[in-house]
Amino acid sequence: MADKSNFLYPRSSYHGDFTPEHLVFNANLQEFSQQVNYICNLETGGKLQPEDAYKRIKFLWKQLKRSKKELAIGQNSSQSDQGGER
């Protein structure tokens, strides 16, 4: 069962600056990517109407955007960039 799950829902290792928030957002981003891939394949295969595919992807995008905001991803990056070397 684990092999099937890994095949259907592959996960890549996280290599960025580690914070719990970044790790959670990375998982959310990978989930978003997988879902968009499935939706695109269904639409390409004629199993999903283009407008329905668009609506589903838009909904997923809003979820990802809300996740980014709730995790405060990128809010302090401009301050930390200014203090570092250029």
> What does the pLDDT look like over 56-67, one tens digit per residue?
999 999 999 999
Report angle CA 65, 85, 14 to the nearest 5 degrees.
40
Residue 16: the pLDDT is 80
9-57 pLDDT per residue, tens:
667 788 888 899 999 999 999 999 999 999 999 999 999 999 999 999 9
As to burial, measured by CB atoms within 10 angstroms (0-12 exposed, 13-18 middle, 19+ buried), residue 45 is exposed
* Token pair in block for residue 17: 């600056």
Q: Tell me the chain's radius of gyration from C-alpha atoms.
A: 17
Q: Which of 80, 27, 78, 33 is nearest to 60 (CA)?
A: 33
Q: Is the model's pLDDT at 71 over the cut of 60?
A: yes
pLDDT at residue 49 in the model: 98
Q: Give the chain's mean pLDDT.
A: 85
